[in-house]
Amino acid sequence: LKIDIKNYKKLFKYIKNNKIDTIVHLAAQAGVRYSLKSPRLYIDSNINGFFNILECCRYLKIKNFIFASSSSVYGLNKNFPLKEDKSANHQIQLYAATKKSNEVMAHAYSYLFNIPSTCLRFFTVYGPWARPDMALFNFTKNILNNKKINVFNHGKHARDFTYIDDVVSIIDKFIKKPAKSNRSWNYKNPDPSSSIAPFRIFNVSNGSKIFLINFIKEIEKKLDKKAKINFLPLQKGDVLETISSKKKLKNFLKIKKPINYKVGIKNFISWYLDYSKKKW
């Protein structure tokens, strides 16, 4: 059912009437660059909308709350690989700031109202049915249509690309494992990824760093077509690179070997070629 998360009354009524006890919250105004152009949309959806979800969790006694955060929250942190128990306090654009705010808000509600809350920091998720503003979708479309692709920082970006099937599998496992209080949590040396409240944070990633230029070369290879590249300088708000530690996630869940980015690109292009033929 399509309901705007800013509409608290409709949201509350739907959850209550359907006796929902688990919420996986993935709705948000996403994208780093767009947050520089339309910041108010991020406050409306990611702050006010998220607050509405928390209020539903509070009054409807939700037993398991899972929500999406982002690798963007690590901001200026370059202590690679990025770990959940390290600093994430220096965001460099509003999108990341709203996601960090969500983490703080969720912890407060978890502590006050005993809401089991799991925060998942996603690292550059890609694959079939991706947002059309994402790099892989945009690059594939433009290359096929003989249009130039804009590549910022002259292609020197690096990302921890995470395939959608891996993400879905991990979310599914967390649905069966609500957060619990960490009774050994240390007040004097607090771990930001855990709490005396039923709250926890996990990175969700592939665990490997791929340079953007290599990502583009793989798209070209799979399409059997060269890209027309418009190299541009670093854009304000962009993080130069991300690479995530998977240690905490591996220790908590039994997860399969992640899908290699070359396979992921192949799967996406196969889907895209089929998708673009259909009349919607």
3 state SS of 248: helix
CA angle (208 as vertex; 205, 213 as ends), nearest 5: 110
Active site residue 95: yes
* Residue carrying the six token digits 């999406």: 68
268 contacts 140 by C-beta, under 8 angstroms: yes
Half-sphere exposure in the Cβ direction for 120 (13 Å, CA): 27
Close Cβ partners of 2 (under 8 Å, ≥ 6 residues apart): none
Measured CA to CA in angstroms, residue 110 lies from 58, 66, 99, 107 at distances of 9, 12, 16, 5
Beta bridge partners of 163: 126
Q: What is the DSSP letter of 153?
A: G
Distance CA 231, CA 233 (A): 7
Q: What is the DSSP letter of 120?
A: E
- Options 42, 95, 163, 272, the catalytic residue: 95
The amino acid at 107: H
At 209, list the tokens.
């760093």
The helix or strand, by DSSP H or E, that contains position 125, with its residue range, turns out to be strand 125-126
Roughly what angle, to the nearest 10 degrees, separates helices 261-277 and 212-223? 50
Cα 225 to chain centroid distance, Å, stands at 30
- Which residue blocks in the chain are alpha helix, DSSP H? 8-17, 34-37, 39-42, 50-59, 94-113, 135-144, 164-175, 212-223, 247-252, 261-277
Give catalytic residues, as residue numbers.
95
